[in-house]
Structure 1
Amino acid sequence: MEENRSFDVIIIGGSYAGLSAAMALGRSLKKVLILDSGTPCNATTPHSHNFLTQDGKPPAEIATRARQQVEQYPTVLFQTDPATAADSSGSRFRITTASGRHYEGRKLIFAAGIRDLLPAIKGVADCWGRSVIHCPYCHGYEYRDHKTGILANGAAALHLAALVRNLTGDLILLTNGTPEFTEEELQRLQQHGIPVRQTEIAELEHAEGQLQQVVFKDGSKIPLQALYARVPFEQQTPLAAALGCAFTEQGYIMVDATQKTTVPGIFACGDTASPMRSVANAVAGGNLAGAMANNDLSQEAWNIV
């Protein structure tokens, strides 16, 4: 198996979405290669939530168990060797890896996820995934009734505020600069008892990643135990763009209801193609992508005369 350089499907990204796709394909006896960088975006998160049967488990534990289960299927090969280049010829895709290996696949699945671009505020990176968080579904219950802030502006801030206010009555919105709200939006925030502070942030004081207080550039401070942050991101790999896949306005790979991209033969799943950043959603999308890739391969083989 290791000497084989030709596969039915090559999966770029070997975390929850990629492993889920590989399991669906492996159970259908398709030859699958998973290429992974070993750098999941939730590496700093101590516990994963909102996933039936796995609620509260460390993300690394879930991923390790998933890989062990997928590796039981003999047609699936896992390589910690990230893809660095890709092109296509006819109905095949050619992938080059960091180690210089070359592989060919009939179908390609992007499941590498995204990379968060954290603001240059001291303490944010230390708290990221612990007490500076992105998702109320993944972390909100654990910080219910805590002193909570939202680091965001405009529509993103309003979206988070509507979700988080149900989890705590002690909520403040930090725009870190000039607020981007209409008068009507500011009135709505006031009606819900959510103050808006625009003073720029200098630092997050914390104890081993647990937020204690926000320090502003004017020297003032406020105590906080949790801070939701809506930060920009980039794709973990540029290869989907290099192959011509279309992207949404937000920066996700554009897919249809069957996880197909705009390029025939290429699928995408998980955080790379969805704003719903959760293990459960990644597993679901990966399962569908694997099944749809298998369906396309099976139909192509069926129609050969």
Structure 2
Amino acid sequence: MPRIRPTRRRHLPATDFDAVIVGGGSAGLSAALTLGRCCRRVLVCSSGPPRNAPSPGVHSFFTRDGTKPAELLRLGRQQLAAYPTVSLREALVTAIVWEPEEQYFTLTMTPDRGGPPLTCTTRKVLLATGVADDLPPIDGMRELWGRGVLHCPYCHGWEVQGQRLAVYGRGKTGWGLVQLVSRWSRDVVLCTDGPAGITEHGRQRLRRLGIAVREEKIVRLEGRRDGQLRHIVFASGEPLERDAVFLHAEQRQRSLLAQEANCRILKSGAVWTDKRGQTSQKGIYAAGDTTPAPQQAIIAAAEGSLAAIALNEALTREDCRG
């Protein structure tokens, strides 16, 4: 098949790439695929393991249900190899600077394998850097993360259905999550690690659902060698035998690039975008867990494709201007 080589518009600045995607997860690779098929010169920069690396599988992803996270990304990168305009680089992007006179962005990055910083220029940027989870400072919480400690019943509920489950959380957060998790099991206990912060009306509802509440301070989680949970150990009272615990962990942006570029940040910490993935800064887009959308790999992939379409259409308007 002959290669399509779109004509370079003379009125546009010469840049290394049409778009640079920061982040090589589901959102970033999906965006790269869409842009590659638009004959765009694209660079994907990724650094470090994905957020879901400890998980045994990615679920609710059409045609890929249960695929290991690393395998899903390997397949994505493999399919991008068919598009010669798409490049992949293992590097941490440390700065994004808008050059007003040249009308393009300059990105600075540090290669994962060492060496001096690199720079490149691009017309557009798509941020798909995701978030990091800040787990409660309880022994065993981090060690069991992704197997015995779970963040999303939509992602992991099926695998633990009917088992002895717990929910960690206080107030509306714990109250709402424990009711959701009760869809997957009739044996669910809410562990609040201190005063529950639940109204009497809320407690009555939990009692009607058969959900017990443990308010003692949690000392540690004890698990098996395979990462599954065995016990929740409290400062007082008997340990609680459980097979898994769900929680909504505190989150923060994995990268400060959006903040440093003066993109609008919501109170939740997510990067604001319009319906097509455009941030408050012209030329910078965002997709995936970086944004306020529900956090599932398939939704991140869809967001990446949607933002890529909007980005390509913005580039096309510039191409055809004048």
Whether the TM-score (by the shorter chain) exceeds 0.5 is yes
* Other-structure match for 2:169: 152
Identity %: 37
**Contact in 1 for aligned 2:58/2:66 (Cα 8 Å):** yes
**What residue in structure 1 maps to residue 68 of structure 2?**
58
Kindly indicate whether residue 310 of structure 2 is the aligned counterpart of residue 292 of structure 1: yes
**Separation in 2 of the partners of 1:40 and 1:193?**
37
Match of 1:94 in 2: 106
1:212-251 to structure 2, matched below 5 A, reads 212-218=230-236, 220-251=238-269
Change (3 A) 1:197 1:179: same
Alignment-derived partner of residue 118 in structure 1: 135
Q: Structure 1, residues 103-137: CA drift from partner, whole Å, max 9, x if none?
A: 11111101011111111111111110112100011
Pairing partner for 1:68 from 78, 93, 113: 78
Q: Which of the residues 159, 165, 188 maps onto 1:142?
A: 159
CA RMSD of aligned residues (A): 1.4
- Label 1:141 to 1:243 Cα distance change in 2 as closer, same or farther (>3 A): same
What 5-or-longer segments of structure 2 have no aligned partner?
Answer: 1-13, 112-116
Structure 2 distance, partners of 1:284, 1:225, is 32
SS at match of 2:201: helix
Q: CA offset at residue 219 of structure 1?
A: 5.6
**Matched residue type, 2:261:** L
1:38, CA displacement in angstroms? Answer: 2.9
Could you say if the C-alpha distance between residues 164 and 152 of structure 1 is closer, same or farther in structure 2, counting changes exceeding 3 Å?
A: same
Q: Is contact 1:8–1:107 with CA below 8 Å preserved after alignment?
A: yes
Map of 2:214 onto structure 1: 197
Please point out which of 207, 220, 238 is paired with 2:224: 207
Where relative contact order (Cα < 8 A, 6+ residues apart) is larger, the structure is: 1
> Given the alignment, which residue of 46, 51, 64 partners 2:56?
46
Q: In 1, Cα distance between the equivalents of 2:81 and 2:127?
A: 19
Per the normalisation by structure 1, the TM-score is 0.95
Matched, 1:256 2:274: yes
TM-score normalised according to structure 2 size: 0.90
Once the two structures are superposed, what CA deviation does each residue of 1:29-56 show, in whole Å capped at 9, x if it has no partner? 1111111013210010111111110011
Does the 8 A contact of 1:156 with 1:230 survive in 2? yes
For 1:46, the aligned partner's letter is P
Q: SS of 1:291's equivalent?
A: helix
Q: Distance in 2 between matches of 1:175 and 1:135?
A: 18
Q: Verify the 8 A CA contact 1:20 1:286 in the aligned structure 2.
A: yes
- Give 1 or 2 for the bigger CA radius of gyration: 2
Question: What's the secondary structure of 2:123's corresponding residue?
Answer: strand
> Which of residues 192, 195, 199 in structure 2 aligns to 1:178?
195
> In the aligned structure 1, how far is the partner of 2:266 from the partner of 2:205?
29
The runs of 5 or more residues in structure 1 that have no matched partner are none
Q: Matched residue pairs, number? A: 301
CA distance in 1, matches of 2:120, 2:223: 46
